A and B are shown apart, each in its own frame.
Chain A
Amino acid sequence: MSTDVKTATPTSKDIDIGQRTAPNGIKLPIYMDNHATTPMDPRVLEEMLPYFMEKFGNAASRNHPFGWVAEEAVELSRERIAKLIGASAKEIIFTSGATESDNLAIKGVAEMYREKGNHIITAVTEHKAVLDTCKHLEKFGFRVTYLPVQKDGLVDLDDLKRAIDDKTILVTIMAANNEIGVLQPIAEIGKLCHERGVIFHSDAVQAIGKVPIDVNKMNIDVASITGHKLYGPKGAGALYVRRKNPRVQLVPLIDGGGHERGMRSGTLNVPGIAGLGKACAIAQEEMPQESCKMAGLRNRLRDSIMSRLDEVYINGSMEHRLPGNLNISFAYVEGESLLMGINDIAVSSGSACTSATLEPSYVLKALGTGDDLAHSSIRFGIGRFNTEAEIDYVADRVVETVLRLRELSPLYEMAKEGVDLKSVKWAAEAH
């Protein structure tokens, strides 16, 4: 592409993220949105670099060393990913990322097992890559049950038990939620599915590398993985597909050269795959200490905020939760205005004002969190490179901004005057 073409979209060179150093030596802005994406681990980049230039071969080239070297990197990655989740290397299929993996798993199973049945079970708090795929299948004669979740965000196993019928071919439930970090009872769900002869897919992108996942112990048949949630590259994902007890077959989404055992054609993204594998190898090595550190930082943030602010609510189970996740609603303060006040910290909000749809978070609504508190929510995603000093800085900035915005909030004033906000007849119906 020509480089002198002027486009309306600013290039990354034009956007200044405003890097600067706070008086206490902390580098700003602080990145604490690790559920959206993680920064790359330098060790991952190092692993990838040779495969862009000197080792550029096509892994499917069988007749010369350029191909062999690339293939070797791909097979090493396959082994590393498999090892992290207790699978065998042959059960790993490479994809472009989590959305493709979810699509391939769900549509692939649906089409392959159509003769057996047309019923799929999922949960309302799944990622859109799963929900929208299920909605798509509904247009083609599939029946989908969207299980509700309990107040803590967990699926009720009895609901699942009741939902499975003789037409059910697939249950798809995520391992860890991307907004509230809640860990579903995957092992129990897997056991139930296997007892009933139903295939179990889990979108495990947020969980893998953060908490132990073992596809055999947990009876997972198909699992989605992506590189950029565990300090690897974007655009590199994988799908675990069980080969025995039972052998799962998928109809491919992409036809072509028959790569990846015919399930996903297309020339492999060798640098990305090498990076994904390295990221898994690091996670395997460091997960025990790292998850401990993450939980420590997370709890420090929670305690520091909650000891200084009243009417602050944690969304989702604290017990069954990713170690690096904290999702909090700050009553009487709107999420986007809070983000604006802490603009030297990168986090996310469940407020409608921050979403493309102008609807507050459907995940928080599913927990029974009122729309008012969903608008007031902030997701903190703590990651490998966050420090204790950053946690303390973030807590201080959040507390001072919430206090300032509450001084500005008519709702806080009314609540302090003893007005029951639920009983107020709001004039918004006029719009």
Chain B
Amino acid sequence: MSYSDKVIDHYNNPRNVGSMDKKDADVGTGLVGAPECGDVMKLQIKVNPQTNIIEDAKFKTFGCGSAIASSSLATEWVKGKTVDQALEIKNTEIVKELALPPVKIHCSVLAEDAIRAAIGDWKKKQEAVKPVEVRAAQ
């Protein structure tokens, strides 16, 4: 598989590798994929509850070079965005940015899923922790 320079760069220097405390109310965790399929991504976001801005993001990925690059890129892209803006990130944009070959498109899909799963987890926590405030805000 010959990869683009961007994939190779993310593989050699992955951004935002690491883990955050899953139990933190401001942290959302997305775990997608399966070991049997050869891809598992864990993407975490830390959201400022006042502004809904994603202030930090971390990832860990088991998968091929393009899976690692897709999730590394995803953490770069979500940082600084609001939760709603982050939800608008499309896998096709990841494909374009990394010049992924057709057989690797599923890696970008998985990265998009990871973002959605992390945000979904965070939202669930918000509802559980502050049900009254959330209702008040609506």
Binding site for B on A (CB under 8 A): 332-334, 336-337, 340-341, 351-354, 358, 360, 370-372, 375, 407-413, 421, 426-428, 430-431
Residue contact A337 to B68, C-beta cutoff 8 Å: yes
Say yes or no: A336-B1 contact (C-beta < 8 A), given A408-B61, A413-B19.
yes
Residue contact B14 to A427, C-beta cutoff 8 Å: no
Chain A hits for B1, CB < 8 A: 336, 353-354
Chain B hits for A353, CB < 8 A: 1, 38, 63-64
Chain B hits for A426, CB < 8 A: 33-36, 40
Which residue on B lies nearest to A427, using beta carbons? B32
A407–B63 alpha-carbon span in the complex (Å): 13
A73–B60 alpha-carbon span in the complex (Å): 60
Which residue on A lies nearest to B8, using beta carbons? A340
Binding site for A on B (CB under 8 A): 1, 3, 8, 11, 14, 17, 19, 31-42, 60-65, 67-68, 103, 106, 109, 113, 117
Q: How far is the CB of A313 from chain B (nearest CB, A)?
A: 14
A-B contact pairs, 20 of them (CB 8 A): A332-B62, A333-B62, A336-B65, A337-B63, A337-B64, A337-B67, A340-B3, A358-B103, A370-B35, A372-B35, A375-B35, A408-B14, A409-B40, A410-B60, A413-B60, A421-B35, A426-B34, A426-B35, A428-B33, A430-B113
A341–B3 alpha-carbon span in the complex (Å): 13
Q: How many A-B residue pairs have CB under 8 A?
A: 93
Residue contact B40 to A410, C-beta cutoff 8 Å: yes
A354–B3 alpha-carbon span in the complex (Å): 13
Residue contact A427 to B60, C-beta cutoff 8 Å: no
A407–B18 alpha-carbon span in the complex (Å): 8
A354–B37 alpha-carbon span in the complex (Å): 13
Residue contact A409 to B60, C-beta cutoff 8 Å: yes
Best-surrounded residue of B61, B106, B113 (most CB of chain A within 10 A): B61
Chain A hits for B37, CB < 8 A: 352, 371, 428, 431
Say yes or no: A427-B65 contact (C-beta < 8 A), given A408-B60, A413-B60.
no
Say yes or no: A427-B117 contact (C-beta < 8 A), given A334-B39, A336-B1, A371-B36.
yes
Chain A hits for B42, CB < 8 A: 410, 413
Residue contact A340 to B62, C-beta cutoff 8 Å: no
Residue contact A427 to B63, C-beta cutoff 8 Å: no
A337–B63 alpha-carbon span in the complex (Å): 7
